[in-house]
Structure 1
């Protein structure tokens, strides 16, 4: 399994971490063999990109891949009076996010990302949540990325979203190299299996599978009702299903998070599993889980029980 580090937590997702812990988290990922790092301007209003760039500085540039995103421009807020961000990141609201999938907007977004990351090129550039403005994203945003790919400013291009339908449109209607799908090929949600993953296999498009713990509910061996699902309170029915999955995992000598990681990589279209972490300990735990997959007998047992 190829693991990638999801870097939303480096932008203080849900709670604040300091620069030292952010740097140590990236160092732990590197030590575990991770060479794919996924970030975005959205994550902490640029904080994730800045911290990731600082932590990678001095590493051999040809040995790692940085994926970032376009579609949300960060615009300085002249009326800022000390408030905090309201989109899940514990950072001062010094900037506003402005949707912009225009050619100029995408070029400006990548230029700003390069400056924050301290890099001279972006390896993977993704349209971020194109379902918010699908027509302009696909008809204007993607051609703008294709131009930048042709110019050598970026390497691979594509889209990242939790909306499997819009990602399928990107695959079918455009010429992406990669898509990042969040939370749609997991033990609790297999929506991507319906059309997206088959379309990617047919077109030879790589898949980065992210959100494989569904933002928390699958992250612990004993799922609790207070763990989030899709960045919100988990519905009671899904908590109950997660507990059934956990019990089945226990009967087969494994754990729910180990099974969640392993399942995320089962489809041949998936080329990397991207997992977030906010501490070195979480990175090391996830790497250890990835190295100890559950027995093959687990999957037919889950299907027989109607849990997959």
Structure 2
């Protein structure tokens, strides 16, 4: 599988990335064996980039990912995790479930927003422990939407310093919006951004400004949320869009895109991944996967070429931007 270097760093990512929120029990519980087999299947498929975060299952995703990668040659895979949410023990809520966070795990910790320098260092130290690794390849500021000032004034300088020291290979930010990511690209010296859901078959809002800025500044894009949380994940459009019921107008557009895909012998999720991957700013398409079947299907679809005629027809019908 093709690998690409992130920005000016030495860190390389595979063109398809394993999004590990699912093995942190996103929405529903998963047993350890299923999670392990999913990561094993990803390795067998040639996937060498794995993305996780403390937020995912209150650390469960990091623990499971680390256990599944244990024993693999360390220089042959890349792991990214995130900072900005510090996990604090909460024994008084341990009998509850993490419903507010969206993960089916005991609420034995609570998340505290913390983009301070000390918070970044503590978060990274805890992540290293859960992952069982000696280093983290990529560290991303996680959802600093309401914390710009602290993230750029306190968290970013620490990441910059750790990168200079060689403790971290590459640094960046990950968000569900493109406007603040553009500020990071322009105003800081980051290697990468993780853009979730804002450059897809259904939402190309980041294509006009953010992606060109990334090209100008040599910042690589890790494209996540390419299925817009479900509507583009299956051959027939699903009913969820950005974690909510899909609006009628968006669903109708997805149906038109799916029909055109079928006319070209292409599956809708295949087109969703290929559309994003063809942009020159995108280094990796990160897809959430938690079972062998999901990994195998996504890897096969990602490796199958999409005819150029599909893009021409989608543009002609006004369904995607030129």
TM > 0.5: yes
Instruction: Answer whether contact 1:259 1:293 (CA < 8 A) is retained.
Output: no
Partner of 2:71, secondary structure, is coil
> Following superposition of structure 1 onto structure 2, how do residues 99-248 of structure 1 map, counting pairs within 5 Å?
99-224=113-238, 227-248=239-260
Instruction: Answer whether contact 1:7 1:38 (CA < 8 A) is retained.
Output: yes
How far is the alpha carbon of 1:185 from its aligned partner?
1.1
Partner of 2:27, secondary structure, is coil
How far is the alpha carbon of 1:81 from its aligned partner?
4.7
Instruction: Answer whether contact 2:211 2:281 (CA < 8 A) is retained.
Output: yes
2:305 and 2:183 map into 1 onto residues whose CA distance is 33
In structure 2, do the counterparts of structure 1 residues 81 and 117 end up closer, same or farther at CA, with 3 Å as the change threshold? closer
How far is the alpha carbon of 1:293 from its aligned partner?
2.5
CA shift digits 1:74-113 (9 cap, x unpaired):
0011322511102111111111100000000000000000
CA shift digits 1:188-246 (9 cap, x unpaired):
0111112111111011111111111111110001113xx32111221121111111110
TM-score by length of 2: 0.93
Partner of 1:132, secondary structure, is coil
Partner of 1:302, secondary structure, is helix
> Following superposition of structure 1 onto structure 2, how do residues 2-13 of structure 1 map, counting pairs within 5 Å?
2-13=15-26
How far is the alpha carbon of 1:130 from its aligned partner?
1.5
TM-score by length of 1: 0.97
Partner of 1:188, secondary structure, is coil
CA shift digits 1:144-183 (9 cap, x unpaired):
1111112222110010111101111110000001111111
1:287 and 1:132 map into 2 onto residues whose CA distance is 35
Supply the RMSD in Å over aligned alpha carbons: 1.0
Residue aligning to 2:31 = 18
Unaligned 5+ residue runs, structure 2? 3-14
Instruction: Answer whether contact 1:6 1:38 (CA < 8 A) is retained.
Output: yes
Relative to structure 2, which stretch is displaced further, 183-192 or 229-238? 229-238
Structure 1: 4+ residue segments shifted above 2 A:
none
